[in-house]
């Protein structure tokens, strides 16, 4: 596999290309979770949302022939699951973390159930833009085939960053997350704000799922997502609820996750499973380094149950 | 904790048979049975509608579910065999819940427990079976226990959220298992399904006489009873519940919260690790990826449905073991995909959590008419 012309450069190049490909679902889920958590609620169910998004995107793309319709369907599915989460959480004395776990199991089960007939057929996949046209080296061209969704995600991050700071909606979400009393005193319904924030978060997470089934790896099967959703939720915590940091963290994660396949492509196959676990180990390591038992995390929304 | 029914002013006789004392004493208990029961019925109804959308008759569904779970002696044995690991993995969530911690990593502790138990059994092939079995139990408990203790220690000393860390540890545990099973521990003759060598027929723990149900069920029931006694009838358990109710109060009265967290997490992980050991020593005979069958995740649901009460876990585990046992029959007779059990579990979970809002709100249980 190793091309003589670039030799060992294959590994960093594959990690770079992989980082861009693998990071996209992390990016969308973490941006979505960022919106939800800023409003003062945590949705652990995004793992299930991701899988449901992947399944519905694949199904709709297969039935309609249009992958973009699939992306839209994934987003809507995610928003509906988000509405379900927010709806149950708005009942008194219901724990949002537990509801998230329930929806994680529910989403996964429902996706496997409905997705059973989709394992065989091939759906239309999302196109990629060839940024590597200038190069003759096939590995470079492969690494630079970048999907539009990645670019959209990269664009959403600064927009969110700006929106949280300056727009009315951003301010409302942050108020609900910092002090629900303050939001209520201003005459806004906290439940209503959180419902919308959770739906928006689910929408983005669903789109992240569509990337999995429609671009990379690019098929539907039951092993498609294994913990990307939950990793992305953890990622928001050490990105300090900052959308721009979510972007950089997602890229770092994508790179870590791409290391296993990259090493495999140059013939290093031992420890394949351990390298595949790299993102989880990295998450855990970063959480160990950045968390502290003595103080609450800087930037954490005060209403968030996970930091209290 | 009788909160609602304890107020004597509100308690009025509802029926001559029950009397005020009855509701006063048992109102909360009835509530704890009635509300999850109603949630279960609601979930089954929604699942019935769901399969009706796919053109199946819901009445057939309920009939086959009953048949597959409790209809025959054969299905009872199947149900009880599945309930055994569920009791143990549910304890992995229910014990830390006494401290107010949400641990959802039972699956990881199960895998690590299975791996430790298998390794130790393969390391001492010359030992008599009883010695091997006892060593396997210890190895499973210690392996799984340390795995969840890691999550507890991270929470205690680094403030890392235990829900997320325990779930991440599931994926890390699975990666370690796959790495070892496809690497140094691989039996060269296992071609299609990489596995370790078998622990040997003599070392298997076998069935309860007269049944096909393995001894794991007894392990599970004993562990649940022991947990109940520990939590509700010992000073240690009392301290744990105090710390779970109000961590600041616990610190003020001088409870070692760190020690409590680590011990409870070790016991919780040990229970799940024991489930892994049982799956190896009673069912699989070796370690491979089959062990990641989702018992750890269903165990979370069992714990929540049982309201984190170790004794209630036993019947709930049998119920959910029954649901998963009926999956095969649903697949054969109704042509439902195997994931339908997962969907039903998800619906039940959602209903059970939503029903939390009902506690203390049912008028007649408060003695009001």
What are the pLDDT digits (tens) for B299-333? 999 999 898 999 999 999 999 999 999 998 999 99
Q: Quick one: pLDDT at residue B365?
A: 62
* pLDDT exceeds cutoff 90 at B29: no
**Cα distance from A131 to chain B (closest Cα, Å)?**
34
Q: Quick one: pLDDT at residue A264?
A: 78
* pLDDT exceeds cutoff 80 at B267: yes
Summarize the confidence of residues B25-42 as an average pLDDT: 86
Angstrom distance (rounded) from CA A275 to CA A257 = 7
| Least CB–CB distance from A230: residue in B164, B172, B357 | B164
| Percent of chain A with pLDDT strictly greater than 70 | 96
| Least CB–CB distance from A105: residue in B102, B171, B346 | B346
Taking an 8 Å cut-off on Cβ atoms, the answer to whether B346 and A291 are in contact is no
- pLDDT of A159-207, one tens digit each? 999 999 999 999 999 999 998 899 999 999 999 999 999 999 999 999 9
Helix, strand, coil proportions of chain B in percent (round to 5)?
Answer: 75, 0, 25
| Least CB–CB distance from A105: residue in B169, B349, B356 | B349
Q: How many CB atoms lie within 10 A of CB A269?
A: 12
Angstrom distance (rounded) from CA A263 to CA A265 = 5
Angstrom distance (rounded) from CA A198 to CA A41 = 8
| Percent of chain B with pLDDT strictly greater than 70 | 92
Partnered with residue B147 across adjacent β-strands are none
Angstrom distance (rounded) from CA A106 to CA A5 = 49
Summarize the confidence of residues B37-51 as an average pLDDT: 94
Residues 6+ apart with CB under 8 A from B332: none
Angstrom distance (rounded) from CA A173 to CA A183 = 9
Q: Quick one: pLDDT at residue A152?
A: 94
pTM summary value = 0.89
**Cα distance from B188 to chain A (closest Cα, Å)?**
16
* Residue segments in chain A with a per-residue pLDDT below the cut of 70: 1-7, 295-296, 306-308
Tell me which residue has tokens 């996970």: A306
Residues 6+ apart with CB under 8 A from A121: A62
Distances (CA, A) of A4 to A15, A134, A139, A249, B358: 18, 19, 11, 33, 69
- pLDDT of B160-193, one tens digit each? 889 889 989 999 999 999 999 988 888 888 888 8
Angstrom distance (rounded) from CA B2 to CA A114 = 44
| Predicted interface score ipTM higher than 0.85 | yes
| 8 A C-beta contact, residue B151 and residue B170 | no
Set of chain B residues whose Cβ sits within 8 Å of the Cβ of A226 = 171
| 8 A C-beta contact, residue B243 and residue B257 | yes
Q: How many CB atoms lie within 10 A of CB B70?
A: 17
| Least CB–CB distance from B343: residue in A110, A227, A274 | A110
Taking an 8 Å cut-off on Cβ atoms, the answer to whether B357 and A110 are in contact is no
Angstrom distance (rounded) from CA B337 to CA B345 = 14
**Which residues, numbered 148 to 187 in chain B, qualify as contacts with chain A under a Cβ-Cβ cut-off of 8 Å?**
154, 156-161, 163-165, 167-172, 174-176, 178-179, 182-183
* pLDDT exceeds cutoff 60 at B2: no
Q: Kind and range of the H or E element at B188? A: none
Q: Quick one: pLDDT at residue B6?
A: 41
Tokens of B137: 């139990």
| 8 A C-beta contact, residue B88 and residue B362 | no
Set of chain A residues whose Cβ sits within 8 Å of the Cβ of B175 = 273-274, 276-277, 280
Taking an 8 Å cut-off on Cβ atoms, the answer to whether A292 and B159 are in contact is yes
Taking an 8 Å cut-off on Cβ atoms, the answer to whether A112 and B297 are in contact is no
* Residue B253: band (very low, low, confident or very high) from pLDDT cuts 50, 70, 90: confident
| Chain centre distance of CA B131 | 28
Candidates B89, B102, B106: best to mutate against A (most CBs of A within 10 A) is B102
Q: Quick one: pLDDT at residue A235?
A: 87
β-strands A128-130, A145-147 pairing: antiparallel
Tokens of A195: 């419902």
Nearest CA in chain A to B258: A293
**In the 8-state DSSP scheme, what is residue A307?**
T
**In the 8-state DSSP scheme, what is residue B356?**
G
**In the 8-state DSSP scheme, what is residue B207?**
B
Side-chain half-sphere CA neighbours of A198 within 13 A:
30
Which residue in A44, A256, A196 sits closest to B104, CA to CA?
Answer: A44
Which residue in B107, B167, B100 sits closest to A45, CA to CA?
Answer: B167
- pLDDT of B93-121, one tens digit each? 999 999 999 999 999 999 999 999 999 99
Nearest CA in chain B to A92: B357
């Amino acid at each position: 596999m190793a091309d003589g012309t670039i030799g060992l450069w294959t590994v960093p190049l594959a990690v770079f290309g992989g980082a861009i490909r693998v990071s996209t679902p992390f990016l969308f889920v973490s941006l979505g979770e960022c919106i939800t958590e800023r409003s003062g609620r945590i949705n652990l169910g995004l793992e299930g949302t991701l899988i449901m998004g992947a399944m519905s995107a694949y199904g709709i793309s297969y039935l309609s022939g249009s992958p973009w319709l699939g992306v839209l369907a994934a987003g809507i599915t995610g928003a509906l699951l988000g509405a379900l989460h927010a709806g149950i959480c708005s009942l008194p004395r219901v724990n949002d973390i537990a509801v998230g776990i329930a929806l994680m199991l529910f989403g996964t089960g429902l996706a496997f159930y409905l997705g059973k007939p989709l394992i065989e057929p091939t759906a239309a996949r999302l196109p990629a833009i060839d940024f590597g046209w200038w190069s003759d080296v096939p590995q470079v061209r492969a690494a630079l085939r970048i999907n539009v969704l990645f670019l959209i995600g990269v664009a959403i991050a600064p927009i969110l960053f700006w929106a949280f700071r300056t727009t009315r909606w951003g301010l409302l979400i942050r108020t609900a997350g910092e002090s629900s009393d303050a939001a209520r005193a201003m005459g806004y319904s906290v439940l209503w704000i959180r419902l919308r924030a959770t739906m928006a978060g689910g929408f983005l997470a669903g789109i992240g799922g569509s990337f999995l089934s429609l671009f990379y790896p690019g098929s539907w099967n039951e092993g498609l997502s294994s913990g990307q959703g939950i990793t992305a939720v953890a990622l928001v915590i050490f990105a300090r609820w900052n959308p721009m940091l979510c972007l950089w963290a997602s890229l770092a994660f994508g790179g870590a996750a791409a290391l296993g396949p990259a090493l495999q492509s140059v013939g290093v196959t031992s420890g394949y499973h351990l390298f595949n676990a790299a993102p989880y180990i990295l998450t855990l390591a970063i959480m160990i380094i950045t968390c502290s038992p003595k103080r609450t995390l800087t930037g954490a929304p005060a209403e968030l149950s996970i930091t209290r | 904790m009788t909160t609602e029914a304890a107020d004597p002013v509100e308690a009025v006789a509802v029926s001559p048979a029950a009397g005020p004392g009855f509701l006063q004493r048992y109102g909360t208990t009835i509530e704890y049975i009635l509300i999850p029961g109603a949630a279960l019925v609601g979930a089954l109804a929604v699942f019935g509608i769901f399969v009706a959308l796919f053109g199946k008759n819901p009445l057939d569904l309920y009939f086959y579910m009953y048949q597959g779970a409790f209809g025959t002696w054969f299905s009872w044995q199947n149900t009880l065999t599945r309930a055994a690991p569920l009791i143990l993995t549910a304890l992995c969530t229910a014990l830390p819940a006494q401290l107010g911690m949400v641990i959802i990593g039972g699956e990881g502790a199960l895998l690590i427990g299975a791996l430790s138990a298998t390794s130790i059994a393969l390391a001492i092939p010359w030992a008599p079976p009883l010695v091997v079995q006892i060593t396997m139990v210890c190895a499973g408990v210690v392996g799984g226990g340390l795995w969840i203790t890691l999550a507890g220690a991270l929470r205690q000393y680094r403030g890392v959220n235990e829900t997320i860390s325990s779930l991440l540890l599931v994926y890390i545990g699975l990666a370690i298992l796959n790495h070892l099973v496809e690497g140094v521990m691989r039996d060269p003759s296992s071609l299609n399904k990489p596995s370790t060598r078998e622990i040997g027929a003599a070392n298997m723990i076998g069935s309860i006489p007269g049944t096909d149900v393995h001894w794991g069920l007894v392990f599970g029931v004993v562990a649940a009873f022991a947990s109940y006694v520990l939590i509700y009838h010992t000073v240690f358990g009392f301290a744990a519940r105090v710390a779970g109710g109000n961590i600041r109060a616990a610190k003020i009265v001088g409870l070692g919260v760190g020690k409590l967290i680590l011990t409870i997490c070790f016991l919780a992980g040990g229970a799940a690790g024991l489930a892994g050991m049982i799956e190896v020593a009673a069912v699989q005979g070796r370690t491979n990826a089959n062990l990641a069958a989702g018992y750890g995740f269903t165990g979370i649901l069992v714990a929540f449905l049982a309201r984190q009460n170790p004794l209630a876990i036993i019947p709930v585990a049998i119920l959910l073991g029954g649901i998963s046992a009926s999956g095969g029959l649903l697949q054969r007779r109704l042509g439902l995909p195997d994931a339908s059990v997962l969907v039903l579990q998800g619906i039940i979970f959602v209903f059970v959590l939503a029903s939390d809002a009902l506690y203390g709100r049912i008028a007649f249980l408060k003695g009001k008419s």
